[in-house]
Amino acid sequence: MTHLTKTELDEIISQTPFKGDTFPVFIETGTYRGETIFKMEPFFDSLHTIEINEKFFNNCKEQYKGSKIAFHLGNSSEVLPQIISTVKENVIFFLDGHWSSQETGRGDKDVPLLEELDSINVQSGGKALIIIDDYRLFGRHPKALLKRNYCKEDWRAITKRSLTSRVRSRLSSKFVHGDRFVICINGLKP
């Protein structure tokens, strides 16, 4: 749930094989209060953000006065494929649309990362830099998280292996950067 900054994004890009490539599109799952999407707006040609909680969606949409950000209300595993199908360029994805207890939005699945990666792998035509938040929770059982005063969601199915297996055919590189797991995938071959 920690927002992504431009400084951190630049640090991440410097560690990828995509250093010389342009990424004109930014897609975020989990708008929450808009901290990431509003900070990223000046640096991209178009941006999309998905939020399942109607209150957060409406608050962020009402705050925004520009024209580059498209706000989407709904479950990221359902909305993300619709967005990706309209994008042909290279994309930076910030996947933070998982339930984090407290007041954050909650869908059918607490952590829809596997479904999100399936959509990206199949539908995203260009190169993709995928930044997944909350690496510290990977593989965790809800009971173990409660003992550490973390959230109650179930992360047992979320591991580096389970995530990279979803994009194996296009995988270029992967690495951990702080509390983020980063996956780089090549563009689809024509």
CB distance 107 to 71 below 8 Å = no
Is the pTM of the predicted complex or chain greater than 0.75? yes
Q: What is the DSSP letter of 186?
A: P
> What is the pLDDT, as a whole number, of residue 144?
54
| Other beta carbons less than 10 A from residue 152's beta carbon | 13
Sequence-separated (6 or more) residues with CB below 8 Å from residue 187: 90, 125, 126, 127, 170
**Which residue(s) pair with 50 in the sheet?**
29, 72
> What is the pLDDT, as a whole number, of residue 111?
77
For 116, the token pair is 């999100």
Q: What is the mean pLDDT of residues 165-169?
A: 96
145 versus 92: which is more confidently predicted? 92
Average pLDDT, the chain: 89
Q: Hey, what CATH class is 6-185 in? A: alpha beta
What tens digit of pLDDT does each residue of 1-28 get? Answer: 578 999 999 999 999 999 899 999 999 9
